[in-house]
Amino acid sequence: MYKFIMNRVTKKIVLLIAVVGVFLGCVTIIFHKDLALYIDRNILQFVAEPLFSLSVSILIASAILMFTKEQVFRAWFAYARIWIPVQFILTLILSFDTSSGLAHGLTSAENIAVVLSFLFFIFSIVIIFYNSFSLRSK
């Protein structure tokens, strides 16, 4: 069943999921004060904001992947399906900061998610270009 689902994931589905994630993130950012009446701030901080920053990275990477071969997409997808859960776990673990002082504001879930999303994007670009150039040389 797992391989069946993984083989059904296409570039267009990933692009659509990224667009939906960016849209939900924009709605959350724009209406965060109104949503705070109905949704706990911790849920917004630990789920919505990291989801938005990761969705932007996935959106840019998937837009690039639309112009590549299927093998390049599969290599990137193998990386992404491991990175994404790890990123959410690291965001949760690293954002529980009980210290005070200079580093107190640097370990918010939003800051950690932005840094990890940027790393995801950089590694994605490396994987995409490496696999694209290695396929062209064959």
Check residue 105 and give its pLDDT.
Answer: 53
Q: What are the extents of the domains in the chain? A: 2-136
Q: Could you give the CA distance from residue 65 to residue 2 in angstroms, rounded to a whole number?
A: 23
- In 3D space, the residue among 111, 101, 115, 119 whose CA is nearest the CA of residue 45 turns out to be 111
Record the tokens describing residue 121, joined without a space. Answer: 């994007």
Q: Could you give the CA distance from residue 4 to residue 72 in angstroms, rounded to a whole number?
A: 19
100, 50, 24, 2 alpha-carbon torsion, rounded to 10°: -150
Check residue 102 and give its pLDDT.
Answer: 46
Band (79; pLDDT cuts 50, 70, 90)? very high
The pLDDT of residue 138 is above 80: no
Residues 6 or more apart in contact with residue 110 via CB below 8 angstroms: 45, 49, 50, 53
Q: Could you give the CA distance from residue 32 to residue 73 in angstroms, rounded to a whole number?
A: 34
Q: For the segment 25-54, what is each residue's pLDDT rounded down to a tens digit?
A: 888 777 776 766 666 666 666 777 788 899
